[in-house]
Chains A and B, each alone.
Chain A
Amino acid sequence: MSFPWAREYQPSNGFTRFLDEKLPLPRLVYNAVGAGYPVPRNLSYFWNFGVLAGFFLVLQIVTGVVLAMHYAANAQVAFATTEHIMRNVNWGWMMRYAHANGASFFFIVVYMHIFRGLFYSSYKAPREMIWLLGVVIFLLMMATAFMGYVLPWGQMSFWGAKVITGLFGAIPLVGEPIQIWLLGGFAPDNAALNRFFSLHFLLPFVIAGVVILHIWALHIPGSSNPTGVEVKSESDTVPFHPYYTAKDGFGLGVVLLAYFAMVFFLPNALGHPDNYIEANPLSTPAHIVPEWYFWPFYAILRAFTVDFILPAKLWGVIAMFASILLWFFLPWLDKSPVRSGHYRPLFRKFFWFGLIPTMIVLFICGGAPAEEPYVMLSQIATAYYFLHFLVILPIISSVEKPEPLPYSITEAVLGSDKKAVLGENTTPAV
């Protein structure tokens, strides 16, 4: 579906006419990310991050396929082949650093994308399905990133794998058999490494598939926008191409500058030096931490220290999974009819002074050793996190009095006195 004023694809020569008749792929692209897709005219740079995430997915697949040509998923040689890539393979160091930092940047842009979705309530009707698919993509990303970090078979790889698969061991009765089944042994070893490699290769293509569904679901209602007011007329939109291909292209350039600065000048800044020591099952690194993008969730995992009916460890596991799974219910927890945080005074306060500081505290605590004051801070932050989504958000949406919304996107952009801005011609040039 699209707006009735969407431009129609016109094949310009014999070849494109032939294609359009047999397999209308150019038409699909034209309608998806070309001039055939009308988009609100007021999108800010926060709307760049979906395209950026797509870019990093492609980058990860390309660099990953290249690395797989030189890597061997065998516990005897995995660490050595990683070093082989770094030292012997032509441009191997660049491919590996591009892949490792690409993962970090993939998470950075996806976190910005989620942040945008939370502040502008992009998850609300009629866009619930886009949000739900997005959460699925995020879960798949986490699984893929975790398994990828195991592959170099360094100390952090090994102990990260042990701690994370150990989480399943916390499940009563069936936990330990499940853990042994997942690992194919009693501790991470060749069997685990091999299956992690297999799945790490597979899952990005699954992600790509869900991304296609995500974009398909997006094109049914069309993009949301910073006012949260739905598109009413043609003057509210501009064609995706050239307007947003240009804007996304500019954003991509800025992000690539930061990305390549990391790849070339600080390639190991986001990694951990212990991972350049080969995996040793008999010696634990002093301080086991996951990759930075898991820190908030790791903090929630470790926040539970007291047994209450269930063992503390199991509560931690439940809370960690629940902290993400509750996003699936977000479209129905936040019932306010107003989408954008710009018009929701109460929501805005709890968002900036509640949720955002909480996420920062969880992030810091997850990367810190499990000692005071970090334990107590992560407990308070975990409590607020769940309170925010499960209690505060539903209450806000029923008691809040939203600020007046603009009549339309055009009015929000050009002011109500359209004549003064546009002269006699009230229809803006598209």
Chain B
Amino acid sequence: MADTTATASTETVVKTDDGIRRRDFLDIAAIGAAGVGGVFIVYPLVSQMAPSKDVLAASSTEVDVSSIEPGQAIKAVFRKQPLFVKRLTDAEIAAANATATGSLRDPQSLEDRTKEGHRDILVTMGVCTHLGCVPLGAAEGEVKGEFGGYFCPCHGSHYDTAGRIRKGPAPTNLEVPEYEFTSDTVIQVG
């Protein structure tokens, strides 16, 4: 067996002057086809780990904000994570606007974080930007921190009335998810 292949390779392979053999084409074509095939195998193996269709389907949430009184907040669930929807009091809006934006760790004004015509509705994720704990301050009677907004008990991050980071280890403001008012009283998040 070994003998026949050895003879075959010496007799049938025609060598041209530049050292390129006809078989080199076959080698490259075979390896190339196997490589492309390999990618086709790897792609589904990687992609199967991404969120499935039912998880993606549950990735938008509707919240009715009409029943929220000024100074009150509700906790909703958006993408399996807590979502804070708060109606700010005039005093809280004034406190947020009184802060010079430039002095903040993550400079954003209340205007940047709310929608035109609904400046009193603050929609943020209830997920501390430090290590993902749920901050306190949304429910009645919870600690609101030194700046009257939210307070994360895990590592002591204080957020102000606009959900902006003011003190503690969190790097950025509470995330404002993408949302829009589908009517005067209903928001659709995601």
Chain A contact residues, CB within 8 Å of chain B: 159, 162-163, 166, 180-182, 184-187, 189, 191, 195, 281-284, 286-288, 302, 305, 307, 311-313, 369-371
Contacts and interface: CB of A to CB of B under 8 A. Distances in A.
Contacts of B169: 305, 312, 370
Contacts of B80: 185-187, 189, 281
A287 B154 contact: yes
Interface string B34-73: 0000000000000001111001000100000000000000
12 contacts: A184-B52, A186-B80, A186-B81, A189-B55, A281-B80, A281-B81, A282-B77, A282-B126, A284-B134, A370-B154, A370-B155, A370-B156
Contacts of A307: 171
A191 B55 CA distance: 9
B130 interface: yes
B43 to A, nearest CB: 13
A163 B131 contact: yes
A288 B153 CA distance: 10
B82 interface: yes
A283 B55 contact: no
B75 interface: yes
A166 B132 contact: yes
Contacts, number: 70
What secondary structure prevails in chain B residues at the interface with A? loop
Contacts of B156: 370-371
Nearest to A305: B169
B79 interface: yes
Contact of B75 (A191, A282, A313, A371): A282
B79 A187 contact: yes
Nearest to B78: A186
B50 A181 contact: yes
Nearest to B126: A282
B14 interface: no
A39 to B, nearest CB: 44
Nearest to A314: B171
A305 to B, nearest CB: 6
Contacts of A288: 131, 133, 154
Most buried by A among B59, B75, B131, B155: B131
